[in-house]
Amino acid sequence: MSNRAFDWLNQAMKDLRHAEESRNSGHHEWACFAAQQSGEKAVKALHLFLGQEAWGHVIARLLKDLPEQVSVPEELVEKAKVLDNFYIPARYPDSHPDGAPFEHYGPLQSKEAIKYAGEIIEFIRAKMA
């Protein structure tokens, strides 16, 4: 079976572009979710590249589950935790006490999400080079 790591990485980069487009059109909740997806797929790409499977959607956990020889900066794990908070609440109206997701996310959140996802992708790209 072929290693699909670069397919996952390419999709992560495409998801990041989608996040940027969503942000530019004012859909900040979707920008946050797409950024989370981008980070998740990038880390899964590295797992595949290293010959292991990765399950789940928590980017911080996926980073911590990488082999010991991959030194992940703690600051990157902390940024992943920010992205992890966009996985469900950015999409579902019942994940906030009141209001639809689009009412809870704005330019500040989407800018940060895109920045952090981009940093995760760059980290992964360097490890897969």
Q: What digits encode the pLDDT tens for the residues 36-53? A: 999 999 999 999 999 999
Please name the fold of domain 5-128.
Answer: Four Helix Bundle (Hemerythrin (Met), subunit A) (1.20.120)
**Counting Cβ atoms within 10 Å, is residue 55 exposed (0-12), middle (13-18) or buried (19+)?**
exposed
> Does the reported pTM lie above 0.85?
yes
The CA distance from 60 to 79, in Å, is: 8
pLDDT more than 70, % of the chain = 98
The band of 3, judged by pLDDT with boundaries at 50, 70 and 90, is confident
Q: Report the interhelical angle of 28-49 vs 74-84 (nearest 10°).
A: 130
Give residue 70's pLDDT band: very low, low, confident or very high (50, 70, 90): very high
Share of the chain above pLDDT 90, in %: 97
- Which of 18, 119, 17, 109 is closest to 78 using CA atoms? 119
CB-based contact 3:49 (threshold 8 Å): yes
Cα–Cα distance, 97 to 104 (Å, whole number): 11
**Nearest one of 37, 31, 34 to 8, comparing CA atoms:** 37
Average pLDDT for 70-75: 97
pLDDT at 1: 55
